[in-house]
């Protein structure tokens, strides 16, 4: 019995590693098929894990928002009151 316990302790890191590899392969397959489980898993870990480039990410998001706002303001043209449709 002691031999089995020792063998389990020796094999535990390898079994954990193989389980992690299997999980990665499964998540990759789910992500390719756009399954909800893969999306939820990704969002969950996105919330928990810290962002190593948080400052640069925030700056990039702010710049994109400003660009979109400028494009939207540029697309708006004031309507000319004289431009009306003449219906017969």
Q: Is 37 left (phi over 0), alpha (psi -120 to 50) or beta?
A: alpha
Residue 6: predicted pLDDT: 92
pLDDT tier at 79 (50, 70, 90 boundaries)? low
pLDDT tier at 85 (50, 70, 90 boundaries)? low
Taking the CB of residue 8, how many other CB atoms lie within 10 A of it? 10
Residue 38: predicted pLDDT: 85
Whole-angstrom Cα distance, residue 54 to residue 20?
A: 27
22 or 34, greater pLDDT: 22
Are 30 and 24 a contacting pair, CB within 8 Å?
A: no
Residue 17: predicted pLDDT: 96
Task: Tell me the pLDDT tens digit for each residue of 54-66.
Answer: 788 888 889 999 9
């Amino acid at each position: 019995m002691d031999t089995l316990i020792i063998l389990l302790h020796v094999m535990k890191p390898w079994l954990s590693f193989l389980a992690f590899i299997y999980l990665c392969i499964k998540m990759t397959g789910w992500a390719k098929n756009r399954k909800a489980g893969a999306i939820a898993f990704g969002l969950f870990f996105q919330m928990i894990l810290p962002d190593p480039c948080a400052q640069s990410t925030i700056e990039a998001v702010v710049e994109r928002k400003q660009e979109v706002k400028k494009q939207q303001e540029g697309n708006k043209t004031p309507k000319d009151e004289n431009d009306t449709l003449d219906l017969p």
